Every structure is written in C-alpha cells, then in structure tokens.
Amino acid sequence: MSISLPIDPESVKGFLDPKEGEALYGAALEAGALGPCLEIGSYCGKSTVYFGAACQKAGSVLFALDHHRGSEENQVGWEHHDSELYDPETGLLNTLPLFRQTLRRAGLEDTVVPLVAPSTVAARGWATPLAMVFIDGGHAMEHALNDYRLWAPFVKPGGILAIHDVFPNPADGGRPPYEIYKMALASNFFEEISAVKSLRLLRRLGEVTS
C-alpha cells in the first residue's frame, strides 16, 4: 500500500514495523468511516502517526490511551529500556512529552485525543462504541487480558480489533498478545482478516464474551 504520512514514523521512538504500520493505516482508514477509534499503548507515538493520519483522513477521532510510564520491558534493567525516557522523580519512564511532540510535529492535535491513564481506570466510565481498537499495551498476561476483556466489547459490529506482537512461536516473543488473539478467535465474534508480521487484524461479527 502506498500511503502519505505527515512525518516519517521512523523518526519516532517505538517498535512498530513499517509494514505493520501500513496495515494499521489501511484498517483505520476503513474503520474510521464507522466512528471513533482507540489505541491502547501509544509510547512515543510511532503507531499513532499511522493510526492518527488515517483517522484524520477518514474524518474520525482517535483516542490514544497510555499511562506513559512504560511497560515492564521498558523499565531499568529490562531489554527495551531507553535511558533518555527515564524519569528520576518516579523511577519509571515518562513518554508523554515525546508523545505530545509527535502529535504536534505530525499535525494530529485536531484528531488524536490523549487519554493519560491506566487502561483499567479509563474503562470504568467508558460508554462510546468504537470502530476500531488497537491493543498494544503491556505484555504481562494481566494487562493483556484486561485490555482485551475491557475494550473488545466496545468494537462495533463490522469494526476492527487489532492486536500487536502476536507471536505463534514462543521463541519469537511473549505469549500474552498471542493468547488474547486466540481468545478473540475462540469467542466466535471475531474473524481474522489480515496478518502482517506480528500484527493481527480481526473483524467484529457480534457481541463479545470474555
């Protein structure tokens, strides 16, 4: 797919492969016509550039949900720690300043609504049906399960559930995203429509069971 983006996503810190980003853009462009979308796990905004640009083109809104303290694997002593994002006051990461910078650089502040909170807290008062939900948050089983169980039910029939870092082979990566992907398929309310590297795109067919 040939797409035009406001900035080069590779100039933004993050872990999304360009091919995955293009697939995310295509799905969001389609889904955005159905209503607002949600991203769980924005980090510094690499995926948000793809997702937000598509929503902007579709005339939709993207809610970008992240506590901006980094996932477990981003913390000190872990594989994906980035010392440039370390906040000595909390001992955790703080990705919010770079995320907001990304939105400004990309001209997406009229499309992307940052939600700075844990996924479980934001879900307490959520009532808006969503055209697309992209799960790319914490990879611990607890976090992945919460993201799926709390947010997948908001995907409208005909909408899209996207899950990142799905690795069928345990040697390639962590299991929780793969497990919630399998749960979504087993629910019989989602069908897979595309697989691009570790990104899975599923179509919502009806009500979701947990």
Cα–Cα nearest to 65, from 102, 28, 100, 39: 39
Q: Which amino acid is at 116?
A: V
CA 177 – CA 198 distance, rounded (Å): 10
**What value, to the nearest 5°, has the Cα angle with vertex 176 and ends 173 and 178?**
70
- The catalytic residue among 68, 139, 143, 164 is 139
139 catalytically annotated: yes
Place of tokens 């797409």: 3
Residues recognised as catalytic: 139
